[in-house]
């Protein structure tokens, strides 16, 4: 299998899971190398995501590591299947890797939940709103790169439009609804679109009103992606220098608690739509 100079988050996650499985079984890299007919360095590279592996090798390792969780093993085997390229690969080399990793994470998720405190969620943005968001970056992005990012963001929304759309719950702070990216007309159009999107069967939008006061994770935008099996859940955090990804058990538990808090304290979907409509009418 070839090596990769810059593995994706999904590829690194597969490697990390294989390493976790090996350590849980008390096996060495030399043992794994013997099973696969490889040298130790290649196994280490495979566990870091730098070297590709195959579904068959994943199953061989899992069997010899005495992993009896068939659903987990098959989910890992699917991650190793390299026969299909994702739509996001067309942007490889032209956009930051983190943007492609988010698209890939969303595409393979079984459910998505996010909370936003400043922006409308990217999966529910109009192109005019997204353009205003990207145009506000410092240092300023070239117009061509802004347009590439807008195009990629619009294509990310395929996860909500495909034949088997992902279930998505978007928690949005009221202040994010009032931020006028692109001016009042663009914001009003965006809010009306948000309401329309929230009527879809697999999309739920819930607003946290300002009266709720303090909230956990203030200042962060968080995406929680349920994996094919619970062991493969992942979290993506927005930051000024790009997205950060985590799948450590303690972090997953923390952000699951965050998502539960937002569900308990946000308005129900109909009341959320009423508030969004009211804010739109004020513009």
The single-letter DSSP state of residue 165 is P
Q: CA 91, CA 219: separation in Å to the nearest integer?
A: 29
**Residues 276, 246 within the same domain:** yes
Residue 220's pLDDT band, with cuts at 50, 70 and 90, is: confident
pLDDT tens-place string over residues 142-188: 999 999 999 999 999 999 999 999 999 999 999 999 999 999 999 99
Residue 14: inside a domain: yes
Confidence at residue 217, expressed as pLDDT on a 0 to 100 scale? 76
The answer to whether residues 54 and 165 belong to one domain is: no
pLDDT tens, 1-45? 566 678 999 999 999 999 999 999 999 999 999 999 999 999 999
Same domain, 40 and 165: no
Query: Which residue, of 80, 96, 124, is where some domain finishes?
Result: 80
CATH code, domain carrying 208: 3.30.870
- Same domain for 104 and 219, yes or no, is yes
Identify the pLDDT of residue 117.
Answer: 94
Give the H/E segment covering residue 170.
strand 167-173
| Dihedral of alpha carbons 111, 117, 119, 124, sign | positive
Q: Identify the domain containing residue 120 by its residue range.
A: 87-282
Percent of the chain with pLDDT strictly greater than 70: 97
Rounded to 10 deg, the angle between the 55-64 and 9-24 helix axes is 20
pLDDT in tens, 130-142: 999 999 999 999 9
Do 278 and 153 sit in the same domain of this protein?
yes
SS3 label, residue 51: strand
Q: What percent of the chain has pLDDT over 90?
A: 92
Number of domains making up the chain: 2
Name the DSSP letter for residue 87: G
Q: What is the pLDDT of residue 105?
A: 97
pLDDT the model gives residue 242: 67
Asked if the structure places residue 4 within a domain, the reply is no
pLDDT at 160 (0 to 100): 98
Whether residues 130 and 223 share a domain: the answer is yes
3-state secondary structure 217-271: CCCCCEEEEECCCHHHCEEEECCCCCCEEECCHHHHHHHHHHHHHHHHHCCCHHH
Residue 69 falls within a domain, yes or no?
Answer: yes
Per-residue model confidence (pLDDT) at position 241: 64
Per-residue model confidence as pLDDT tens digits over 238-277 = 876 667 999 999 999 999 999 999 999 999 999 999 999 9
CB 98, CB 56: distance < 8 Å:
no
In this structure, the answer to whether residues 14 and 119 fall within a common structural domain is: no
Does residue 224 sit within a domain? yes
């Amino acid at each position: 299998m070839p090596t990769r100079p810059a593995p994706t988050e999904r590829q690194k996650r597969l490697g990390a899971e294989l390493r976790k499985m090996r350590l849980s079984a008390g096996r060495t890299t030399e043992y794994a190398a013997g099973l696969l007919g490889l040298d130790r360095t290649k196994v280490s590279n495979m566990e870091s995501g730098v070297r590709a592996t195959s579904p068959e090798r994943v199953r061989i390792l899992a069997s010899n590591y005495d992993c009896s969780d068939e659903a987990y093993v098959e989910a890992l085997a699917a991650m190793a299947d390299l026969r299909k390229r994702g739509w996001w690969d067309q942007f490889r080399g032209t956009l930051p890797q983190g943007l492609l990793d988010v698209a890939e994470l969303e595409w393979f998720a079984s459910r998505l939940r996010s909370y936003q405190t400043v922006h409308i969620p990217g999966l529910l943005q109009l192109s005019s709103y997204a353009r205003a968001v990207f145009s506000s970056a410092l240092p300023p992005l070239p117009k061509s790169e802004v347009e590439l990012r807008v195009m990629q963001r619009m294509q990310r929304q395929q996860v909500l439009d495909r034949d088997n759309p992902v279930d998505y719950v978007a928690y949005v702070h009221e202040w994010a609804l009032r931020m006028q990216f692109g001016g009042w007309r663009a914001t009003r159009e965006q809010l009306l679109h948000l309401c329309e999107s929230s009527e879809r069967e697999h999309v739920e939008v819930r607003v946290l009103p300002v009266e709720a006061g303090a909230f956990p994770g203030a200042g962060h935008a968080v995406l929680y992606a349920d994996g094919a099996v619970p062991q493969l859940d992942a979290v993506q955090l927005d930051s000024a220098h790009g997205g950060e990804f985590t799948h450590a058990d303690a972090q997953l538990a923390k952000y699951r608690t965050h998502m539960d808090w937002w569900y308990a304290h946000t308005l129900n979907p109909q009341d959320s739509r009423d508030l969004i409509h009211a804010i739109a009418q004020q513009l």
